[in-house]
Chain A
Amino acid sequence: MDTIFPFGFPLATAFYLTLFVVTLVLHVLFMNYVLAGTAWLAWSIVTGRVRLGAKSAEIAKNEPATCESILADWIPTMLSGAITAGVAPLLFVQILYQREFYTANLLLFNRWMSILPILILGFYSLYVLRSNWLTRRSAIVKSVTGLLPFVCVAFVAYSWTENHLLSMNGPEKWKSFYAQDRQFYFEPQILPRLAVWAFGSIPTMCLWLAWQLHYRQSVKLPLDPSSTPQLSRIAIFGLIASIVGGTTYYLSAPQIATIFFGPMARWYLILAVAGVIAQFFGWIKIHRARTISLQPLLICSAGLMATVAGMSVCREAIRIVTLGQLRFDELVAQHAAAMEVDGFWVFLLFAVINIGLIAWCFRLVQGNTIATDDEVRGA
């Protein structure tokens, strides 16, 4: 625990921790688009800034795309991506912290399991947003339907934070929680911690959207001229809000500071901060130019990856230190046993093949389009 992550651990532990963090980063990239995107969409629908339903999409065929129209079109697909990408870290967390993860699941019981129907409700409400049915409904129904995906996704995000923090408690606290027959867990750091992730999701979503706008620019598809400045303003707001959220979190849980500046996480914290600075630089450049060119986009992308990866490692460092040396030594033995299990090379082989085939899918779509249509929005 006194060396930079993950080098202070035995090989098996370092290996599974790295796999977990890498796949978690992938999940976070999709998840952030959905969390911040549904919030933006909810705000736009409630304030009447966006038209709803398939009929509107037909009208929009000949109209320039806006950030809102791209979000409405893409969030269901990105939610699918978030769920798919979430399977891998969910698998590796069961190897790394099986007792902790299972116990938190069991203690929260029905409250935890409720995320599943709520996720389905949120998923389908995203499709309802694109339906003709909604265009004929009252403003109240439209507003409620517009809010629903965000409320559902936010509930799932809150539940994960609750589950994660409960999982880091030891057996004594778990027993007391169980004896009280509670299904809600709260501690003061839940909200500031959630705020860091929630505000942090804004720059990620803006970057995805920026790449989508950049693509539209490059293939000369119509684009609302106000989209780029609007997007850069929101991205910069998201970065500032993340810093404020991070500071609040830091002040609300002083023990976190010790871990962040400790030997395991220190350089990752610096990486995350450097990433934020790079993103500021890139977004300000985009804001000034009022167009999305490749160079600042690449700077923002590199910055974002540094921030998300850095913060993901810091998150893991908090868990490792909180569990303590004694418990982690037990876990290390379990990781070593897991490493003995066959199948890694088969996984690696098919991972390489399937990544290649996934890339081929993109190539197929890009190279075999026979008609350009505005329905192909923001690809």
Chain B
Amino acid sequence: MQPDIYPINDFGPLMKGLAIGGLGIFHVFLAQFAIGGGFLMCYLQWLDMNKKNTVARAFLDSYFKFLVLVSFVMGAVTGVAMWFTSIQVSPRTIGLMVSSFHWVWATEWTFFSLEVVSGYAFYRYGKHLTDQARLTLLILYTIAAWFSLFWINGILSWQLTPGDWVNSKSVWVGFFNAGFWPSLLYRTVASMSVAALVGLVVVNFIPNLQRSQREQLVRQVATMLIPMVLMPFLGAWYIGSMPADSRAWATGGSVAMTMFLTIAVGSSALVGIYSVVALWFGRLYINGATSALLVLLAFGASAGGEFVREGVRKPFTVRETLYSNSIHKNEVAALRISGLSTRPDQYPLRHADRYANDQIKQGALVFREQCSVCHTLGGVNALDELTSSWSVEQMRLNIAQLQQTKPFMPPFAGTALEVEALVQFLSWNHQDNPDVWPMTSTQDDLGAIVGRIQSYLDEAGTEPADAATRHRALQELANKRWKGR
């Protein structure tokens, strides 16, 4: 059966990955707050029940209101938004994820429902309940929230390390993949930390508390930050579970990835050191401004980590299965023969009259289908910039052998004529889209050019640069940069 063809939207100067990445980072941070908040509130309720803090109950109720307003509203809606944005960016990726793991998602929904019911039950009636009932509701809320993470974490980590799922298609092989446990444990500790940091902000904003009561709350809330000492080990475990080429990319092979990993590690280290050394051992007090700054640092750490997690999958969205441009690994060989831009159910080119000739139109279609998910023409990660210094022949070679040109790029999935159309389209863009542009056939010997491109394509083959090649290339790049210092 033919794969479904979807319309592709133009995000203008905004890279599609930034849209999904930006929303994803925001949603993950809110979700971590909701999950860690459960642990913190159980602890506070326990303190209250054991008479270890006289204001723990008041703090808990204030904190929960904050959690409902921020996490239950924004968290729930951004969760749905993640689905819708994924459809906008890569319908085939989200389609594959849903088709392969729909029962896992359905299971997660049952926990999400429990989380919402127990959360609202506490929010609405907590003040009127017995201590034991309050604690029970909070424990149910925490279990449900953590299990939501458990189920989603399996799907997200599968994208990078699907392991033998690629062959067996077994749900549980894919779910309990190499990255599952380190990722789950790391996220659990991160959630506890985010919740505790938000708690420190809330401590400073509750009215009618004496300084000594605030100090006691700060010390007790900071207890939840102690597990951060495990983060370096869990982080190393997670990075170790990555495929070698992805790991190499994050550790020097790509400047952007390495920079974001450094932001994640650096921000986490700053928060961790301050929390453990100053707050816990030093028993220092923390004011609203400093605690808010720590929350921002934690957001930075979360953002850096998520960026790396999304980025190191390249050239895939589901490793060894689906490329970033929504072309299946197994489809490339056939598309080299039949072409991508001339499929019968292809969506037409919008504003076709703006293009100089039919070849440019075909090039625009190839750009839309193969490049536009990660590149723009003149905005973020613009092809105009990336190819501006290349000669026409260099473009033919580099695009035809894309996976060799850059090992994190997918192989070109089209015919030699389509490579040439894309080259002409990019050249036409370099010249600011003139009204008249000669087609290759009218200025050169088309047969000879297509023949050369075909030989480039054949040389590169239809497979991605294999993991060892990708790893070696990235390692060499990292070494070169290191020596360059």
Bound complex: CA A368 to CA B131 (Å)? 9
**Is the CB–CB distance between A91 and B80 below 8 Å?**
no
Interface assignment of B356: CB less than 8 Å from any CB of chain A: no
CB–CB B129/A368 < 8 A: yes
B-side contacts of A87, CB under 8 Å: 79-80, 109, 112
A-contact 0/1 string along B1-44, CB 8 Å cutoff: 10010111100000000000000000000000000000000000
- Flag if B113 contacts A91 (CB, 8 Å): no
Binary contact track B115-134/A, C-beta < 8 Å → 1, others 0: 01110110011011110110
- Residues in B with CB closer than 8 Å to A362 are 121
- Which of A89-119 touch B at CB < 8 Å? 90-92, 94-95, 98-99, 102-103, 105-107, 109, 112-113, 116, 119
B130-A368 in contact (CB<8A): yes
**Are B113 and A77 in contact, with the CB atoms below 8 A?**
no
Contact B95 A102 (CB under 8 A): yes
What B residues does A103 contact at CB under 8 A? 6-7
Select one of B78, B116, B140 contacting A357, CB under 8 A. Answer: B140
Contact: B125 with A376, CB < 8 Å? yes
Q: Given A109-B9, A364-B121, A368-B132, do A351 and B110 touch, yes or no (CB 8 Å)?
A: yes
B205 within 8 A of A: no
A140 within 8 A of B: no
Contacts of B120 in A (CB 8 A): 77, 80
Report A-chain residues with C-beta under 8 Å of the C-beta of B144: 354, 357
Categorize the interface residue count of chain B.
Answer: 35 or more
Q: Tell me the interface secondary structure of chain A in the complex.
A: helix
Contact of A107 among B7, B69, B351 (CB under 8 A): B7
Q: How far is the CA of A343 from the CA of B58 in the complex (A)?
A: 42
Quick check: which of A172-180, A226-234, A251-259, A269-277 contacts chain B, the rest being far away?
A172-180
Interface residue stretch chosen among A120-128, A295-303, A307-315: A120-128
Q: How many whole Å from B229's CB to the nearest CB in chain A?
A: 33
Instruction: Select the stretch in B84-92, B247-255, B394-402 that faces chain A.
Output: B84-92
Cβ distance A152 to chain B, nearest Cβ, rounded Å? 11
Chain B residues lying within 8 Å of A353, measured Cβ to Cβ, are: 110
B459 within 8 A of A: no
Cβ < 8 Å to A, chain B residues 307-323: none
Give the docked Cα–Cα distance between A45 and B145 (Å). 37
A344 and chain B: residue at smallest CB distance? B103
B174 nearest in chain A by CB position: A342
| Contact (Cβ within 8 A) A341 B111 | no
Contacts of B345 in A (CB 8 A): 171
Task: Please encode chain A, from 66 to 99, with 1 for each CB lying within 8 Å of some chain B CB and 0 for all others.
Answer: 0000000000010011011111101110110011
CA distance A181 to B83 in the complex (A): 23
Docked-complex contact A333 and B1, CB < 8 angstroms: yes
> For this complex, into which size category does the number of interface residues on chain A fall?
35 or more
Residue of B nearest to A76 (CB): B73
- Complex Cα spacing A346 to B350, Å: 46
Distance, CA A127 to CA B69, complexed state (A): 8
User: CA–CA, A358 to B115, complex, Å?
Assistant: 9
Q: Tell me the bound Cα distance from A179 to B81 in angstroms.
A: 26
| Chain A positions 179 through 223: 1 when the CB is less than 8 Å from some CB of chain B, otherwise 0 | 101000000000000000000000000000000000000000000
Given contacts A84-B112, A171-B345, A174-B7, contact A113 B88 (CB under 8 A): yes
**Chain A hits for B130, CB < 8 A:** 368, 370
* A221 CB to nearest chain B CB (Å): 13
B180 interface contact, C-beta 8 A: no
Least CB separation from A353: chain B residue = B110
- Contact with B350, one of A95, A98, A179, A361 (Cβ below 8 angstroms): A179
Q: In this assembly, does B100 line the interface, its C-beta being within 8 Å of a C-beta of chain A?
A: yes
Q: A109-B9, A120-B73, A338-B99 are in contact. Are A347 and B110 (CB under 8 A)?
A: yes
Could you show 30 A-B contacts with beta carbons less than 8 Å apart?
A84-B112, A87-B80, A88-B109, A90-B83, A94-B94, A95-B102, A106-B6, A106-B88, A120-B73, A124-B73, A175-B347, A178-B347, A178-B350, A179-B348, A341-B101, A341-B171, A342-B170, A346-B104, A347-B103, A347-B107, A350-B110, A357-B114, A357-B118, A361-B140, A364-B121, A365-B121, A365-B125, A369-B129, A370-B130, A376-B124
Nearest first, the 8 A-B pairs at minimum CB distance are: A343-B103, A368-B133, A342-B171, A354-B110, A102-B91, A99-B4, A179-B348, A347-B103
Given contacts A116-B81, A361-B118, 4 further A-B contacts (CB under 8 A): A120-B77, A123-B77, A364-B133, A370-B129
